[in-house]
Amino acid sequence: MNKILVIILFSLVSLTWGTTWIAMKIATETIPPFFATGMRFLVASPILIILAYFTKTPLLFPYGQRWFQLIISIFYFSIPFTLMLYGGMYVSSSVASIIFSSMPVAVLTVSFLYLKKKLFLTQKIGMFISLITLLTVLLIELESQCFFQWKGILALLFALFSHAFIYSECQKKCLNVSVITFNALPSLLSGILLSTTSWFIESPHINTFSNRSILAIFYLGDFSGIFGILSYFYLQQKVSAFYASTVFLIFPVIAGFLENYIYKNAILLCEIWFIFPLIIGILLTLIPVNYLKKIRNKITRLSCLLF
């Protein structure tokens, strides 16, 4: 029964995250990115607040860390998610998903540079392979498409490392709050902030919004945003972080197939080949630290016996 539940959770996360990128592209067909992101969070926040009420989960962070809740609202929700939609307007869904499949590598890079975290040799090799491969894929994409794509790529990279930085800050502060607490109020604050900002910057005209763009917003807010995050959280409780993180290798494939089906945008053959070293690099960064320590200790003992 537990294995079936793990398979269901893994499949649900892969599908929701894989379809997120195509839903973002559909949403921004007729809705400007600031307003689309704001509406996405305003749609999600009431359900999260209701879940918090019925599960007796606090909405506020622990005393002394509540200022960080505001920072999360801006630098984890408002800015990055808006940049994701903005970047999706210029970059294909498959490339956007490939960029975000590098999240484990981005977190490891930020932890190494910012937190001065010690890395094993295999992690350093994996980080190097992943970053070089990602850079190569992005350069190929720029060369094969219109050059204005650099705007979308920069937006997505900023969103990626903004998420990685906040995640590293959470590790640094030993922040241990419920996934509902982490998302509920920041979603509401971000929704209000972005929707208000949109009226002054984008001047959205609701009568121009298409039905499928509106449906995409509800999908992003209620299904992808809530059930995708909660499913990943519970998946992490059922399996190790290594196996849970392998979902980052699956959802770009789903995004690529969907984009090819809906928009007839075929992935370049060379990009497909570069996905393999990217996967290898990500897997090397995901190898559990405890496992690497055991290998290091075995090698140390073996070298003492030999010499």
| Per-residue pLDDT tens over the stretch 255-278 | 878 877 777 665 555 555 667 777
| Per-residue pLDDT tens over the stretch 154-207 | 999 999 999 999 988 888 776 788 889 999 999 999 999 999 999 999 989 889
Torsion of CA 110, 111, 114, 120, to 10 degrees: -110
Q: Which of 175, 168, 182 is nearest to 229 (CA)?
A: 182
Confidence of residue 146 (pLDDT cuts 50, 70, 90): low
Q: Please give the pLDDT value at position 190.
A: 96
Q: Please give the pLDDT value at position 292.
A: 47
Higher-pLDDT residue of 83 and 233 is: 83
For the chain, what percent of residues have pLDDT higher than 90?
35
Q: Which of 207, 215, 201 is nearest to 43 (CA)?
A: 215
If residue 286 lies in a helix (H) or strand (E), which one and from where to where? Answer: helix 269-286
How many whole angstroms separate alpha carbon 187 and alpha carbon 43? 9
Q: Please give the pLDDT value at position 288.
A: 63
Contacts 24+ apart (CB under 8 A), 194-200: 194/34, 194/35, 194/37, 194/38, 194/41, 194/78, 194/82, 195/34, 195/35, 195/38, 195/39, 195/42, 196/38, 197/34, 197/38, 198/32, 198/34, 198/35, 198/38
pTM, entire model = 0.85
Q: Please give the pLDDT value at position 295.
A: 44
Confidence of residue 81 (pLDDT cuts 50, 70, 90): very high
Task: Give the type of residue at 69.
Answer: Q
**Tokens 């075929």, located at residue:** 266
Confidence of residue 305 (pLDDT cuts 50, 70, 90): very low
For the chain, what percent of residues have pLDDT higher than 70?
86
In the chain, where do the E strands start and end? Answer: none
Domain locations along the chain? 2-306
**In sequence order, what are the residues at sequence separation of 6 or more whose Cβ sits closer than 8 angstroms to the Cβ of residue 292?**
120, 122, 123
Q: Please give the pLDDT value at position 241.
A: 66
Mean pLDDT of 131-145: 77
In this model, does residue 102 exceed pLDDT 60? yes
